[in-house]
Structure 1
C-alpha cells in the first residue's frame, strides 16, 4: 500500500505546483503562528513534502524543524533543502518521531488525505508528542465532506469542525482559534493543556 497517498507517483507535479517560495499559499499564516512559539522551539512538520514553503517559513523564523513524509522523492529534496533538519521517510501514523516531545507540531495539507480512522490516531499521537503548553496547527475544511484530491485523484476526507474539535478535546488539547488563509485553507490552532 502506498503510504504517501499517491504523492510519490505524482511527486514531480506536486513539487511544480507547491514550490512557490516563501510567498507560497499558507506561508504567511505559518510565519505568524511561528512567531507565537518560544525562541528556538522544536517543531515537527508532518507531511512536510520538500519543505517549501511551510518548513522554510519555520526555519526562517529560527525554529528547529523535524519533518515526516512518506514520499521518498520529496524526502530526498527536503534533505537537500534542509540538511540540518532531521527528516523521516515514513507514514505519519507510524512515525518514530512521535516517541519524542515537540514544542509545536504542524500538519499543513495532510490530515484530509488520511482515512478517517488514521486522522483520529494521528491527532492523538500529535497531542501525546506535544510538551505541556505545546501548540498544534493543522489544516482541514470546516465542512464535513469528501472530494478527490486535485493532484492524485484519491479520495480526501474532512471530518468537519465539530468532529475535529471533539477529537482535540478528547486528546487533551484546547482549541485556541480557527482561521482561513489567502488560499481559503481552514486552520485549527490548539494548545496542549
Structure 2
C-alpha cells in the first residue's frame, strides 16, 4: 500500500475536509511576497482546495502536482483558473520553467526518508532567482506509519537543524521559521518561508 493508493481511497473524505478549510496565514504571507501574475508550483496540491484556489484568485499561475490521480482529477474538474494539474511524483517532475514561488503545505513528510535531503536542491533549481519556498515539516528525525480517514499513510522527516543547514548551504535565506504553529484548529510542527538569493 502506498500513499498514492491511500489518497485515492480517501478522496471523498478529503474533499469534505479541505473544501471548507481555512487558508493559513503563512500562505497569505507567501502570496504577499510574490509579484502579481507570478508562477507558483504547488507540491502535493491534492484537490487544489483551498490553496491553489486561493492563489489562483490572487492571479498567480499555478502548476499543481500530486501522486494521487483521483486528487488531480478533482482539481482539474474544479474550474480553478490560471492552473494546470499533473499526476506526478515530485522527483520525476521536470520543466524548463522557473517558478516565482513553490509551496509544499503538508506534503514533504510523505517523501521517502532516504530521499528527504534531495528535496531542497531540486526546489532551489526550480525556483527563479529571488523566488520563495514555503513548506511545513516535522522537527525531529522520524519515519512512521499513521492512519487518516481509515487508511494507512507513510511519513518521514529529517531534523530541523539538518534541513536548515542544507538550505543555507544551497543559498536559501530563511525569512521565518515557526515551531508549533497553531491557527484556529490547525497545527503544524514547523513552518518555514525561505527565499532563493
Q: TM-score, with normalisation over the residues of structure 2? A: 0.86
Query: Measured at CA, do residues 53 and 149 of structure 1 come closer, stay the same or move farther in structure 2, by a change above 3 Å?
Result: farther
3-state SS of the aligned residue for 1:132? strand
Match of 1:160 in 2: 159
Matched, 1:43 2:43: no
Query: 1:113 & 1:46 partners in 2: Cα distance?
Result: 11
SS in 1 for 2:77: helix
Q: Is the 8 A contact 2:23 2:54 kept in 1?
A: no
The 1-side partners of 2:124 and 2:30 are apart by: 18
**Contact in 2 for aligned 1:112/1:157 (Cα 8 Å):** yes
Q: Displacement, 1:83?
A: 5.2
What residue is the counterpart of 1:8 in the other structure? 8
Q: Deviations over 1:51-103 (max 9, x none)?
A: 11111221122211110011111111111222541111111111124x32000
Structure 1: runs of 5 or more not aligned? none
1:184 aligns to what? 187
Q: Is the 8 A contact 1:109 1:139 kept in 2?
A: yes
Displacement of 1:157 in angstroms is 1.4
CA contact (8 A) 1:67 1:85 kept: yes
- 27 and 121 in structure 1: CA distance in 2 versus 1, 3 angstrom threshold: same
CA displacement at 1:191 relative to structure 2? 0.8
| Partner residue, 1:18 | 18
What's the CA shift for 1:162? 0.7
Which shows bigger deviation, 37-46 or 181-190? 181-190
Alignment counterpart, residue 141 of structure 2, candidates 132, 140, 144 = 144
Q: Deviations over 1:123-146 (max 9, x none)?
A: 211110101111100101223334
CA RMSD of aligned residues (A): 2.0
Q: How far 1:34 moved relative to its partner?
A: 0.4
**Secondary structure of 1:143's aligned partner:** coil
Q: How much has 1:181 moved relative to structure 2?
A: 4.2
- 8 Å CA contact retained: 2:3, 2:153: no
The 3-state SS of whatever aligns with 1:49 is coil
- Cα deviation, residue 116, structure 1: 1.8
1:133 touches 1:192 (CA, 8 Å); kept in 2?
A: yes
Per mean C-alpha deviation after superposition, the further-off stretch among 129-138 and 78-87 is 78-87
- Contact kept, 8 Å, 1:42 with 1:65, in 2: the verdict is yes
